Amino acid sequence: KRIAVLASGRGSNFQAVIDAIAAGEIPAICVGLVTDNPRAYAIERAKAAGIPVTVVEYARFPTRAAYEDALLAAMRNCRADLFVLAGYMRILGTGIVHEFAGRMMNIHPALLPAFTGLHAQRQAIEYGVKVAGCTVHLVDEGTDTGPIVIQRCVPVLPDDDESTLADRILVEEHAALPLAVKLFCEGRLEVSGRRVRVR
């Protein structure tokens, strides 16, 4: 399969996918990184792995619609079977969500449906939950609302702050995301309504 990754920042989840492909764990090639951030460290990771990069910077477009058009064009150009959102920090428009329905997944650092949106780990700390984690889900029109593929959990410890909790969750993200991509690429995900079954 052909996969493409969208990332806005550090790209450690992107790296986990690159590494799993290199290790032969995922039957796929990564055909592109698309980013909205020309300073994203993810770009260095792509270059190191020989993966083509397309930058679609929001601020360079006069309107949101023009940005969305350019992003859609960049994504189509990848001709990917699966698009992986690995820390892509912009909401995707409904046009993009519809075009790639069922073949776009996102990693979110919370046990959904709790703590959607930004600063999920901080939300978990402030709420006082005792268990946190990460979710890989298919992307639908909502923010972090699509069908859940994989979740992994971690304890929240009494002395945690946002950053120590985020670090603990990140370890699980790096396992969950490559696994979800692998299952997709092996054709083992069966979606019926909200429920995703692994065959």
Let me know: does 75 contact 34? Beta carbons within 8 Å: yes
Nearest alpha carbon to residue 184 among 9, 21, 12, 13: 21
- Shortest reach from residue 62's CB to ligand GRF, in Å: 28
- Shortest reach from residue 120's CB to ligand GRF, in Å: 8
Which is nearer to ligand GRF, 16 or 189 (by Cβ)?
Answer: 16
Residue with tokens 């023009």: 66
- Shortest reach from residue 199's CB to ligand GRF, in Å: 26
The residue with its CB nearest to ligand GRF is 87
Which is nearer to ligand GRF, 108 or 137 (by Cβ)?
Answer: 108
Nearest alpha carbon to residue 126 among 179, 164, 162: 162
Residues forming contacts to ligand GRF in the complex (CB under 6 A) are: 7, 9-14, 86-87, 107-109, 170, 173
Which is nearer to ligand GRF, 16 or 71 (by Cβ)?
Answer: 16
Which is nearer to ligand GRF, 40 or 190 (by Cβ)?
Answer: 40
Q: Which residues are catalytic?
A: 108
Let me know: does 190 contact 88? Beta carbons within 8 Å: no
- Shortest reach from residue 95's CB to ligand GRF, in Å: 22
